[in-house]
Every structure is written in C-alpha cells, then in structure tokens.
Amino acid sequence: MNIRRQSHAAPTAGFLRRQSSLPVWADLCWRVVLVFGLIALVLLIHWVGRDGLKDNLDNQISFVDVLYFTTVTVTTVGYGDIVPVSPEARLFEALLVTPIRLFVWVIFLGTAYNLFFRNILYRWRMARIQADLHNHIVVTGFGTSGQEAVNELLARGTDPREIVVIDGSEKALDLAEALGCNVLCGDSTRDKTLKDVAIHRARSMIVSAGRDDTSILITLTARHLAPRLPISIVVRNEDNELPARQAGATTVINPVSFAGLLLAGSTSGKHIADYMADLAASGGRVKLNERPVLPQEIGQPLSAIGTGLGLRIYRGDHPIGFWEDGARALQTGDCIIEIVEETDARAKPDDQ
C-alpha cells in the first residue's frame, strides 16, 4: 500500500501496464532460473569451443576449468588465468558473453531494486507525505461522484496537495494523481488504510464508494478513528440515509433525491432548477457559504448581517430559519448559512 504525490517530472506515456499475476516468490524464482539458464548456455558453448581457451597454469582445459571460466566471465571480466586465444573464442566473448554479462547484472540490480530499494524508497516518500498531512480532505472512492467532488474542490481554490484520494483502482488513482492530489491504493474499510492518510488530522472526509453498504462501513471505520471529523457520504438508496447517519455521517447526500427535487422544483417555475445549480456550482453567480457568527454580529438579527443574505442559523444542532424568532438575535456559537456573491473570475459576463 503506497501513498504517493504527483511528481513534477514529465509523465511517462505510451506504456500499457497491468498488475503482475506472479507472486513475489514466483517472480524471484523466474529471475534465478533465467540467470542460470544464461550461464548454462555460455557454459555449453565454452565447452564445445574449449580448444580456443588457454589455461596459464597447466595448459589443460577440464570441465571444471570451463565452469570456472564461465562463472567468472559472466559475473565479472575474469582474472586472466584462463583466457580466450583463438579468434572464434574472442569473438564469442565480445559479441555474446559481454551482452549476457550486462543482462545478468541488470537482472540482479532489477531484483534488488524491486525487492528492497523500491520498498525503502516508497516507505520514505510515504512517511514524508504523511508528515505533511494536516487539515486535509480525504476522498474515498474516485468514481463519478468522487471525481466531481474533487474537481469542484479544486475549482473553489482548494490546493490539490490538501486532498488525499483513496481507491482500489490504479486507473482511477492515475486520474487523481494527474490533478496533483495525494493518492493511496487501498481498502478504506480498514483501519490501517485510514490511519495511513492521517484521518485523525483531516478536516473533512467525502465518502463515495459506489455501494451504500461499503460507504456506510467506511463511515463507521472513520468515525471510530476520528470522532469529531465531518463526514459527507453519498448514498443511492433513500432507505440507507438513516443507517448512514447512525454510522456517524455528518452530511448524507442522495443524488437521486436531489435530482428529483430539482425536477419537481422546475415544474413550479422554469428558473428554480437553474438557481439551485447556480448555488451549488463554483462558477455560478452566487454561492452558499457557511461561517461562524462574528463578534460584532452578536445580538443583531440575521437579516442585518453585511456579508450576504442570511438564510439559516444552526444553534447547536438545531436549525433556525430566517423567519423564526430565534433569528432575531444572533448568539455566540451560532453557525450562519448565507448566500454570497461569487467573486470568482470565471463568473458569467452578465455579472458585470
């Protein structure tokens, strides 16, 4: 399981890759067999052409001498006690044994890198990224909803380095990594996976696993690791909205229900759905904003705030509408929901 951050180096393109179907032990055995096969090939040719070799010690070339000469030649450049003297033997050493020697060393170095150095490098990089994870956003599931959520966060100015995407698909993670996000290939229902992304230091979490049962299990796992973490979850079946809240979700979103609300609202007026979409999107003319009450606003009515159009107050867990008595005087600890002007440069031309 490796957490990674996008590199500033140019991405490698044009390679079709697939997860290896061989376990580590089988891959290692295959490499060992290949090395011994190459040595056996060189040994056979050396034995057949042993008349082109000279032993400087006793001038006799035995099988042990050929075996010795083959191993030291393939693994090093020899010691000079046995040397090729005929033109054929020297051509063989230059044109075949030298490439085999290089190939064997590539196999050795590649095996060492895959089994040891790469793991050390990945763990070092992962530790560095984990140390930087503070007040970040964790997104579990990078399907359609997860991608839209991340794109919207980026459009609203969130630094991609503050987003960690968890998914089991390398293809999905490649898309997230291309956006500059931190990514982790793993199972979000496991404690270890969420601990690897420092869930206890996150500022919020978005759960969109594609299946309601999986999303609810992820929420349960995250909630016991981070009791105060705001968790937003997407569920497809309205029957699962209550279990999602009981699992610890702070916000439960049903895209089907929301779409139904927009469709129903459009029957009462053709501009209602357009305005709702305007509120939700980062590029709209207006947007919803949530903030704590300011010290200078305490005691004033919700309608008197100067930052936007006040819609609702949350006093603890109790919502208070702008028309209710509780909205006549703001109190310490209130949370205000307001509509504010979108000041983004991408706003529509008729904003001017």
Is residue 13 situated within a structural domain? no
Question: Which residues pair with residue 184 across a beta bridge?
Answer: 3, 166
- For the sheet with 182-185, list strands across it: 3-4, 182-185, 163-167, 137-140, 204-207, 231-234, 251-253
| Burial class of 334 by CB neighbour count within 10 A (0 to 12, 13 to 18, 19+) | buried
143 and 224 fall within a common domain: yes
125 and 141 fall within a common domain: no
- Burial letters 196-229, b for 16+ CB under 10 A, else e: bbbbeebebbbbbbeebebbbbbbbbbbeebeeb
Query: How far is it, in rounded angstroms, from Cα 83 to Cα 340?
Result: 86
Query: How far is it, in rounded angstroms, from Cα 15 to Cα 199?
Result: 34
Question: Which residues pair with residue 109 across a beta bridge?
Answer: none
Is residue 18 situated within a structural domain? no
Q: For residues 336 and 315, is the Cβ–Cβ distance under 8 A?
A: no
100 and 157 fall within a common domain: no
162 and 122 fall within a common domain: no
Alpha carbons within 13 angstroms on the beta-carbon side of residue 191 total 3
Q: What is the pLDDT of residue 10?
A: 35
219 and 309 fall within a common domain: no
What's this model's pTM, rounded to 2 decimal places? Answer: 0.55
Residue percentage of the chain with pLDDT more than 70: 73
Is residue 55 situated within a structural domain? yes
318 and 345 fall within a common domain: yes
Which pLDDT band, with edges at 50, 70 and 90, does 93 fall under? low
pLDDT digits (tens, 9 = 90+) for 199-251: 999 999 999 998 999 999 999 999 999 999 999 999 988 889 999 999 999 98
Query: How far is it, in rounded angstroms, from Cα 77 to Cα 69?
Result: 10
Query: Which of 92, 113, 130 is at the close of a domain?
Result: 130
Highest mean pLDDT among 90-94, 172-176, 277-281: 172-176
In angstroms, how far is CA 298 from the centroid of its own chain? 43
Considering Cα of 73, then 77, then 81, then 82, what sign does the dihedral take?
positive
**E strand or H helix that includes residue 150:** helix 144-155
Which pLDDT band, with edges at 50, 70 and 90, does 4 fall under? low
Query: How far is it, in rounded angstroms, from Cα 293 to Cα 302?
Result: 10
Decide: helix, strand or coil at residue 185: strand
Is residue 241 situated within a structural domain? yes
Query: How far is it, in rounded angstroms, from Cα 108 to Cα 117?
Result: 12
Total tally of structural domains belonging to the chain: 3
DSSP 320: E
Highest mean pLDDT among 118-127, 258-267, 284-293: 284-293
Query: Which of 222, 257, 292 is at the close of a domain?
Result: 257
Is residue 99 situated within a structural domain? yes
Note the maximum CA span of the chain.
111
Alpha carbons within 13 angstroms on the beta-carbon side of residue 201 total 14
Whether 2 has a pLDDT exceeding 60, the answer reads no
Query: Which of 130, 156, 174 is at the close of a domain?
Result: 130
141 and 235 fall within a common domain: yes
Whether 264 has a pLDDT exceeding 80, the answer reads no
CATH number, domain containing residue 74: 1.10.287
Residue 316's domain comprises 283-351
41 and 117 fall within a common domain: yes
Identity (one letter) of the amino acid at 47? W
239 and 319 fall within a common domain: no
Report DSSP letters for 192-218, one per residue: HHHHHTTGGG-SEEEE--SSHHHHHHH
86 vs 144 pLDDT, higher one: 144
139 and 248 fall within a common domain: yes
295 and 247 fall within a common domain: no
123 and 172 fall within a common domain: no
Q: What is the pLDDT of residue 16?
A: 27
Q: For residues 134 and 150, is the Cβ–Cβ distance under 8 A?
A: no
The pair of three-digit structure tokens given for residue 126, joined into one six-digit string: 């992962």
